[in-house]
Amino acid sequence: MALFPRCMVKVWISVPLVGIVPGACADVSVPAKEPPSVTNGSADPLARLSQSYGIEIITTDPPFPVTTLHGMITGKAAGQGALDWYTPLFFQEFSLYPPTLVRRARLNRVVLCEDLSFAGQRRNAIPDFAHDTLYLDTTRGAYSPEYLRTVIHHEFFHIIDYRDDGLVYSDHSWSTLNASAMKYGDGGRNAQHRPEESLLVTTYPGFLDYYGTTGVEEDKAELFAHLIVRSSAVAARSRSDSVLMAKVWRLKRLMGEFCPEMNDGFWKRAASLDRRSDNTMVLNRPLDPSIE
Ligand SMILES: [Zn+2]
């Protein structure tokens, strides 16, 4: 069982769901149909991602502050050392996504930064629906590269979840998979003080961790992220937890409906991704001033 740092916080949805048309995600033109290869193409991995997915990846002069209806997004440019450290990890995980998935999520921009915060509170990542932007802090949580990998997928899933049907905070059919007595909490935002929030535990039947119990949106996002980064652990838990097993099937079905390329091949690639570099990454991690 991997421990997730107590200082880490998960973000909550920072932008209200007002005024954006749900569903019917039209594809836009991008130059490539396949994710970039780790070994081919431009020497700049971020440029390759940008080209392959038709997205902007901002690493210098990030556009802070960003105004949203619920608060200000602030941060600063990541230091070169942190960026160099984080980029291979980000490239590996993001390259798993089929370009069609990114198009249908309508993600336009990724901002790699430091000191990310929302409404004055530090965040590891922020999915900004209103601006089709995903903010990722390259430094916070650096002593757990596995956690940073999970954060990428967790936060991107929120964007997928929103673009799927315009609903994030409710999913009745999903909620009915839970035991009848189970009631979700009041959202991930109010769980950030709990040190055990992201520990993979067996304490909560039907859930991988405490954080998933805080809201249906976090339940799905956590499962999606862990299915990618920690597939073996999820499979092991699912074998003895019928609710969790049902959620795995439902999530994979939902993803396949949203993007047909999110098929068995995707899940196999995610499970077989070589993440052994985490062992050396953690030794060379950048310092996080907030915790070290
Ligand atoms: Zn979340």
Domain ranges of the chain: 45-284
Sign of the alpha-carbon torsion through 137, 141, 146, 151: negative
pTM recorded for the entire structure: 0.85
The model's pLDDT over 241-261, given as tens digits with 9 standing for 90+, comes to 999 999 999 999 999 999 999
Among 32, 22, 165, which residue's Cα sits nearest to residue 98?
A: 32
Distance 43 CA to ligand 1 centre (A): 33
Task: Please tell me the distance from the alpha carbon of residue 181 to that of residue 183, in angstroms, as a whole number.
Answer: 6
Distance 31 CA to ligand 1 centre (A): 31
CA angle 96, 131, 263 (to 5 degrees): 25
Distance 218 CA to ligand 1 centre (A): 5
The model's pLDDT over 160-184, given as tens digits with 9 standing for 90+, comes to 999 999 999 999 999 999 999 999 9
Task: Please tell me the distance from the alpha carbon of residue 36 to that of residue 151, in angstroms, as a whole number.
Answer: 21
Task: Name the pLDDT band for 32 (thresholds 50, 70, 90).
Answer: very low
What confidence score (pLDDT) does residue 186 get? 84
Which CATH topology does 45-284 take?
Collagenase (Catalytic Domain) (3.40.390)
| Number of other CB atoms surrounding residue 169 within 10 Å | 15
Percent of the chain with pLDDT over 90: 70
> Quick one: average pLDDT of 30-50?
68
The model's pLDDT over 195-232, given as tens digits with 9 standing for 90+, comes to 456 778 888 999 999 999 999 999 999 999 999 999 99
Distance 145 CA to ligand 1 centre (A): 18
**52-84 burial: b if 16+ Cβ within 10 Å, else e:** bbbbebbbeebebebebeebebbbebbeeebbe
Tokens encoding 222: 């956590």
Distance 40 CA to ligand 1 centre (A): 33
Distance 94 CA to ligand 1 centre (A): 17
Name residues with Cβ closer than 5 Å to ligand 1, which is an ion: 10, 188, 218, 221
Distance 9 CA to ligand 1 centre (A): 10
Distance 1 CA to ligand 1 centre (A): 21
The model's pLDDT over 118-171, given as tens digits with 9 standing for 90+, comes to 999 999 999 999 999 999 999 998 889 999 999 999 999 999 999 999 999 999
Task: Name the pLDDT band for 26 (thresholds 50, 70, 90).
Answer: very low
Distance 41 CA to ligand 1 centre (A): 33
CA angle 105, 5, 85 (to 5 degrees): 65
Task: Give CB contacts under 8 A, 24+ apart, made by 27-36.
Answer: 27/100, 27/103, 27/104, 28/54, 28/103, 29/54, 30/54, 30/99, 30/103, 32/99, 33/99, 34/99, 35/95, 35/96, 35/97, 35/98, 35/99, 36/91, 36/95
Task: Please tell me the distance from the alpha carbon of residue 83 to that of residue 56, in angstroms, as a whole number.
Answer: 16
